[in-house]
Amino acid sequence: MNLLAVATSDYIGFMLLVAMLISSKIRRADAGHFEYKIFTAITILTMIACVVDFLVFFSDGKSGILMRILNMAGNTFCFMANPIFIASWCIYEDLKLYHSMTRIKKIYTYAFIPAVIMGILALLNNIFPIIYTIDADNVYHRLPLSYLYYVVDFGYVILSYYILKKFEERYGKVRFFPLYLMVGPILMGCLLQSIFYGISLIWVSISVGLTAIYMSLQNEFSYLDRLTGLYNRAYLDYQLEVISKEKKTVGGIMIDVDYFKSINDNFGHHAGDEALIDVARVIIFAKPDKAIATRFAGDEFIILVPETSEKEMKNVLKSLHDEVDLFNETEGRQYKLSLSMGYSIFHQDSETMDDFLKHMDDNMYEEKQINHIHELAK
């Protein structure tokens, strides 16, 4: 065992997370979001584990009751924290993707059981050594059952991958959430630590993974609309700039919420925010996977559909109308959603990007007038 190498590893992991928390927008801007509280909690748990991990290696083999207590308590904490961390990561990922506490309670009431069992085993190990033992010279020895922790960790990694893939099958590829940046370092750290006895890589690997995810989240903060979760105007402008330089067929749909002022006036601004979130959900359910959904401004949204055709654009419009009808029939909100939509296909050779946006807006306005006429005729 090289104590200096362990100290260096744990120090790097600890300082990475300290720097991340100090600069983190998560704490300042999203303190009320439960998934970000979980992210902060597992970050702090990892920081503590980095410190405890060093103390365990420092106390190993040293005489004295204090060193023995430190060795036993530290190993107990690390073996408990390891499965709790990876299980909590799955909860964070699930919440971030689905935003459903009902789903969390339904799934993780059972999915968290292996982590709890491993935590109990870590406590029982102080009475009946089954995971590791500390001999009379206060030297730590790993027992065969300790490898069960790697199996449980790998099981949660598979669950994490499954959650992401099932989400992408239904809603399309998730941007700004590169799971491999989190899972890759952890798997490598677990593998190396399981093979080479006496090295400490798991917690620094977790720190690297958390930092990588945090860096990706910063891009998310820059390009996502905080209320609806769709892309924002900045990301739309970026995509339009890319489109203007490429010779590809791109369609666009501009969407405006009918009678949005009435929703705010009659039911309050909270209901107005809820309606915008509902519209975003309708768009996500209705759009093709390849399409990019953005909140343009206020109650206006734009969908960009690359490599499209007139037929596909009309099918997307139909899907949007169908989703609105389904929403109004099933959700039981105090308001009814009504959307005016207009589409256009960008012809790079004959129009500018401003023309493209104007054609969408003009077509949307025509449908809005028709919707208002129908409403007055009722």
Read off the CATH number of the domain in which 345 is found: 3.30.70.270
Work out how many domains the chain is built from and give that number: 2
Nearest to 337 by CA among 371, 295, 305, 294: 371
pLDDT for res 116 = 96
pLDDT for res 377 = 56
Residue-range definition of the domain harbouring residue 309: 233-377
257 and 289 in a single domain? The answer is yes
Q: Single out the residue in 192, 223, 254 at which a domain terminates.
A: 223
324 and 276 in a single domain? The answer is yes
**228 within domain boundaries:** no
Q: What is the 3-state secondary structure (H, E, C) of 237-295?
A: HHHHHHHHHCCCCEEEEEEEECCHHHHHHHHCHHHHHHHHHHHHHHHHHHCCCCCEEEE
181 and 266 in a single domain? The answer is no
What are the CA-CA distances from residue 41 to residues 91, 176, 215, 237 (Å)? Answer: 12, 21, 17, 35
pLDDT for res 32 = 46
pTM of the model: 0.68
Tokens representing residue 182 in the block: 């989190």
**19 within domain boundaries:** yes
28 and 173 in a single domain? The answer is yes
361 and 292 in a single domain? The answer is yes
**254 contacts 342 by C-beta, under 8 angstroms:** yes
How does pLDDT run across 93-142, given as a tens digit for each residue? 998 888 778 889 999 999 999 999 999 999 999 999 999 999 999 999 99
Q: Give the number of other Cβ atoms within 10 Å of residue 355's Cβ.
A: 13
How does pLDDT run across 196-226, given as a tens digit for each residue? 766 778 888 889 989 888 888 777 778 888 8
201 and 289 in a single domain? The answer is no
Tokens representing residue 280 in the block: 């975003």
Can you tell me the distance from the alpha carbon of 161 to that of 8, in angstroms, rounded to the nearest whole number? Answer: 31
Phi, psi of 105 (to 5 degrees): -65, -35
**254 contacts 301 by C-beta, under 8 angstroms:** yes
Read off the CATH number of the domain in which 54 is found: 1.20.1070
Provide the pLDDT confidence category of residue 362 given band limits of 50, 70 and 90: very high
DSSP 173: P
209 and 266 in a single domain? The answer is no
